[in-house]
Amino acid sequence: MNVLDPWSPQQSISASNLSADSTESARLASIVNSYRPNLTKYEEFYRQVHQKPEISGLESETAALVADHLRTLGFEVHTHIGGEGVVGILHNGPGKTILNRAELDAPPILEPVMHACGHDMNMATLLGASNLLKAASREWSGTLIALFQPDEEETGGAQAMIDDGLYSKVPIPDLLLGQHVVTLHAGQIAAKSGPVLVAADSINVRITGGPYENSLNPQICLDPIPLAMHIISERDDYVHERIGADEDVTVACWGFHAGVPGNDYVAYADIPLDVKTVKADVRKQALRLIEDKIKVERRTAGTPKEPQFNYSVRAPLTENNDKTTARIQAAFHDYFGSDSVPMRFTRACEDFSLLTGGHNVPHTYWNFGGSPTTDGEIPTNHSPFFAPAIEPTLEAGVSAMALAVLAFSAS
Ligand SMILES: [Zn+2]
């Protein structure tokens, strides 16, 4: 054990045996089981928020509910950070500061808005775990921050909270934790080291058309639509052929806009592209390949203007810290037994890791299951049919979040 490394497990944990010391495991389990609150009120909270979903940036009622509950638990509460962001702080003596994050918003889906990503469940589990840890405050020492982030679906909320001075109100954490309900079987927990979610970049490309030289006839112009369609149809294969089929990279097209009805002159075509990658060098290469390809196509088509490229980072790579994750995995393994399952890497993205605010804060992000069944087609997150079973999902999520905190702070 490297005593200089604050994140080294207190017990020896090897890759082949994730089990922590059995006495310590039994103690953590006993704290979680003895202090876990009656979850009925969190079921009610879940139902209440589920029935009144609010989209990114407009989460005022959800934020107010969360803030009220944190106040009743005795947390120091700050609101309206980066929009509707809420943090609750529980000062509980010396030790590590651990920030746990959940999301307030719901994506715009059929209804036209529903909690199709399960953020209602993520919030309910963080409130339940906050209650558990407050009740168990004699058993651990440190500072707990419960953070409820707005605008995750548009991946703007984490940075907005940082830009709005989050860390002037809240101590910079030693560890950042987050969990998300997914389509694993309800009651299952999954964590892993290394990359867990992709990096995502947006490129808004504008292809400008224009008149042929000396032509005054609007019908005789270089139409940007066929050129834009050609670029859309080739973009993914082109990048894969050059980067290699084994590398994890996708170039999706999210839409297409060109022209105005009634006007036969099409000035430009806009193509929003979404590039998802895992490795930094592949990301750089993919972005360069796309830009070069579009420039070559434009020259071949002979349109008068260079295309415009508007780049923005939607989300950085979410990459779990090896040491903090190994310790959390060991705690999960011992508590959940066979319900602690391997975590799969997914091509979803998150702004969770931006909550480090550029500070060197290790982070671990894991999944918990919500599917009532393993049979047939299970609706995924963002499907209009996504519907976690309230139990045992809620109990497992509350226990997992509390365990992860206790693994670093139990005294
Ligand atoms: Zn989500």
212 C-alpha vs ligand 1 centroid, how far in Å? 48
The answer to whether 128 and 42 have CB atoms below 8 angstroms apart is yes
Question: Given a cut of 60, is residue 17 above it in pLDDT?
Answer: no
211 C-alpha vs ligand 1 centroid, how far in Å? 46
CA distances, 134 to each of 31, 143, 152, 202, 405 (Å)? 12, 11, 27, 41, 12
Pairing of strands 268-277, 199-208: antiparallel
Pairing of strands 199-208, 210-211: unpaired
Give the H/E segment covering residue 27.
helix 22-35
SS3 405: helix
322 C-alpha vs ligand 1 centroid, how far in Å? 23
Average pLDDT, the chain: 90
186 C-alpha vs ligand 1 centroid, how far in Å? 17
216 C-alpha vs ligand 1 centroid, how far in Å? 52
User: Half-sphere exposure of 93 toward its Cβ, with a 13 Å CA cutoff?
Assistant: 9
**pLDDT band at 65, cuts 50/70/90?**
very high
Amino acid at residue number 359? H
405 C-alpha vs ligand 1 centroid, how far in Å? 21
Q: CA torsion angle for 392, 394, 399, 402 (degrees, to 10)?
A: 170
Average pLDDT estimate for 328-356: 94
Residues facing 146 on adjacent strands: 88, 100
Question: Given a cut of 50, is residue 7 above it in pLDDT?
Answer: no
290 C-alpha vs ligand 1 centroid, how far in Å? 28
Per DSSP, 129 falls in state H
350 C-alpha vs ligand 1 centroid, how far in Å? 8
**pLDDT band at 8, cuts 50/70/90?**
very low
DSSP codes, 222-244: E-HHHHHHHHHHHHHHHHHHHH-
Nearest to 146 by CA among 130, 167, 158: 130
Whether the link from the prior residue into 112 is cis, omega within 30° of 0, is yes
Residues facing 176 on adjacent strands: 99, 363
114 C-alpha vs ligand 1 centroid, how far in Å? 12
**pLDDT score of 11:** 38
Q: Tens digits of per-residue pLDDT, 105-128?
A: 998 876 678 888 999 999 999 999
Residue with tokens 């490394």: 5
Pairing of strands 363-371, 175-185: parallel
User: Tokens for 53?
Assistant: 């979903």
181 C-alpha vs ligand 1 centroid, how far in Å? 8
SS3 349: coil
383 C-alpha vs ligand 1 centroid, how far in Å? 12
10 C-alpha vs ligand 1 centroid, how far in Å? 32
First-residue to last-residue Cα distance in the chain = 19
175 C-alpha vs ligand 1 centroid, how far in Å? 21
User: Half-sphere exposure of 363 toward its Cβ, with a 13 Å CA cutoff?
Assistant: 28
314 C-alpha vs ligand 1 centroid, how far in Å? 14
Residues facing 222 on adjacent strands: 210
Question: What is the crossing angle of helices 390-409 and 119-135, to 10°?
Answer: 50
Question: Given a cut of 60, is residue 2 above it in pLDDT?
Answer: no
Q: Which residue has the higher pLDDT, 197 or 259?
A: 197
CA 15 to chain centroid, in Å, comes to 26
361 C-alpha vs ligand 1 centroid, how far in Å? 22
**pLDDT band at 218, cuts 50/70/90?**
low
Q: Is 376 exposed, middle or buried (0-12, 13-18, 19+ CB in 10 A)?
A: exposed
Q: Which domains does the chain have, with CATH numbers?
A: 22-196+317-409 (3.40.630.10), 199-315 (3.30.70.360)
The answer to whether 104 and 161 have CB atoms below 8 angstroms apart is no
382 C-alpha vs ligand 1 centroid, how far in Å? 8
57 C-alpha vs ligand 1 centroid, how far in Å? 15
264 C-alpha vs ligand 1 centroid, how far in Å? 42
349 C-alpha vs ligand 1 centroid, how far in Å? 9
Residue with tokens 């940082």: 162
Residue with tokens 């995995």: 329
Q: Tens digits of per-residue pLDDT, 285-326?
A: 999 999 999 999 988 888 878 999 999 999 999 999 999 999
